[in-house]
Copies of this chain bind each other. A is one copy, B any other.
Amino acid sequence: MKEAVTDILKHSQLSITESRLKILELFTKHNKALSHADIEKISSKNFDRVTVYRTLQTFVDKGIIHSIPTADNSVMYALCKETCTEGHHHDDHVHFICDECGNTYCLDNIDIPKVTIPKGFSTHQVNVLVNGVCKSCK
């Protein structure tokens, strides 16, 4: 497990530090999106708030995680797939937020639906955000 995490950092040409290892491990262990607050709460070691902010920003920059817009405008982050690289995110998948447990999941298997846009408008990116009840909470 720790191997995989180290490899991700190396692959992104990031130096291997305790904060990066621990925080990235949280993402690989929990199969769901995490907020800054989540990370501070569930992390064994108490990193400085600033370190967590900077680590998350670094991961986003490097294409390791992506941020997720949510209906309540809290900031969530989740692991990217291999296709994302520095400066080039391709997180075109549906995000599902369970109104029961509050967990946010990336639904990678679902196709992003085609959205028709008015004449004269052009599309860069489509975010689809579904609220509902997840499998475990049903």
Q: Which residues of A contact B (CB under 8 A)?
A: 67, 69-71, 73-75, 94, 96, 99, 107, 109-111, 113-135, 138
Q: Are B110 and A117 in contact (CB under 8 A)?
A: yes
Q: Is the CB of B69 within 8 A of A129?
A: yes
Q: Are A109 and B115 in contact (CB under 8 A)?
A: no
B125 touches A126 (CB 8 A): no
Contacts of A71 in B (CB 8 A): 67, 69, 125, 127
Name the 6 nearest CB pairs between A and B, nearest first.
A113-B113, A120-B135, A127-B129, A123-B132, A69-B69, A125-B131
Whose C-beta in chain B lies nearest to the C-beta of A70? B69
| Cβ of A115 to closest chain B Cβ, rounded Å | 6
User: A107 contacts which chain B residues (CB < 8 A)?
Assistant: 117-118
